Amino acid sequence: MGEEQPAESDQPLTEAIRELSEIVRIVMTSQEQQTNTHERVMRRDLRWRNIRAALICVSVVGGALLYSLGLQRLFAPTKFNGPYAALVRIEGVIDAEQKANAHKVIAALRSAFEDPRAKGVVLLINSPGGSPVQSALIHDRLLRLRAQYPKTPVWAIGEDMLTSGAYFVAVAAPHVCVNRSTMTGSIGVVMEGWGLDRTIGRWDIERRVFTSGENKRRLDAFQPLRPQDEHKASELLHAIHEHFIQAVKDGRGPRLKGSATELFSGDYWTGEQASSLGLVDGLCDLDGVMKQHFGVEQLKDYTLPPNLFTRVANSFGVLAQSQFDTQFSVAQPRLMP
């Protein structure tokens, strides 16, 4: 017997089912193609968004790096319509980790003195002072540059503060002037620390430090102050103070009018009082010095900007925290009011 053939009445139904299946297949294929196309478009858009974000980040970081390296000067106008003086600014604490550090200030001073078209050099200072070493490095280099370029006029101008390490730098200039209200002087050295030995004793805290050398733990904030440590600190401060005093005497010479006891006591005065004591040559402002002593109305600023790390760290207070940590653990001599 042969196979049964589908009844003729079933053929239309079979054809309909076949057509329906084909339609479903086409629809599903179309939906799959649309899904794939949508995914490709989404991936492409995401890729371009990432590229744009990366380009923006590179532009911002690159611009900040260019600025921090001082390369913005390449894009700044370098031609002046007339004569000008070279300007170097010292702002803020003078310290190796700050923007007013010896490396940057000395580099700026060298460029300012080397400019053959500048009518002179103006050192504009607004600083409470800072590190004795950084201040001395700037002071000594300024003296050497003056000796190397003896015909270059040099003026140091104090703004809000011209104290301690900042004044140490200023006396290397042959002429120093300030505003009548400028805090001036503070020819002394300070060394600060903490005495926390009773605090940790009260809380029954034991600190363990291992050293080699009996004096390695001098001025440990968590140990009682020993007489020999206090004597050592006094010797150190006296030596630095004598260095500071000698620099002032060499710089100001016979212009000093006050007694040594008064001048070198670490005290500070207004600009008007400092002028009467011979610590400065008189009262002034930047515009007046430019016109009266240099005969110019323009300044070419040679001050180097802070590097990117310093700018970012300052923004987040990292340097302030670092400075606090340093003061907390190790007392250091400072030329500060």
Q: What is the residue-wise DSSP string for 40-62?
A: HHHHHHHHHHHHHHHHHHHHHHH
What digits encode the pLDDT tens for the residues 193-225?
888 888 888 888 888 888 899 888 888 888 898
| Residue 62 within any structural domain of the chain | no
With respect to residue 145, please indicate whether it lies within any of the assigned structural domains: yes
The count of structural domains within the chain is 1
Domain that holds residue 139: 81-189+243-334
What is the spatial distance between Cα 30 and Cα 32, in angstroms, rounded to a whole number?
A: 5
Let me know if 269 is exposed, middle or buried by CB neighbors in 10 A (0-12, 13-18, 19+): buried
As a whole number of angstroms, the distance between CA 333 and CA 132 comes to 7
pLDDT of the chain, 337 residues: tens digit per residue: 445 555 555 677 777 777 777 777 777 776 677 777 767 777 877 788 888 888 888 877 766 665 555 554 544 445 667 899 999 999 999 999 999 999 999 999 999 999 999 999 999 999 999 999 999 999 999 999 999 999 999 999 999 999 999 999 999 999 999 999 999 999 999 998 888 888 888 888 888 888 899 888 888 888 898 999 999 999 999 999 999 999 999 999 999 998 999 999 999 999 999 999 999 999 999 999 999 999 999 999 999 986 555 454 444 444 444 444 444 455 678 877 7
The reply to whether 151 falls in a domain is yes
Residue 101 forms part of a structural domain: yes
Do 225 and 191 contact (CB within 8 A), yes or no? Answer: no
Q: Read off the CATH number of the domain in which 152 is found.
A: 3.90.226.10
Q: Say if 218 falls within a structural domain.
A: no
Q: 167, 187 in Cβ contact below 8 A?
A: yes
Work out the percent of the chain whose per-residue pLDDT is above 70: 82
Predicted structure pTM score: 0.74
d(CA 139, CA 94): 12
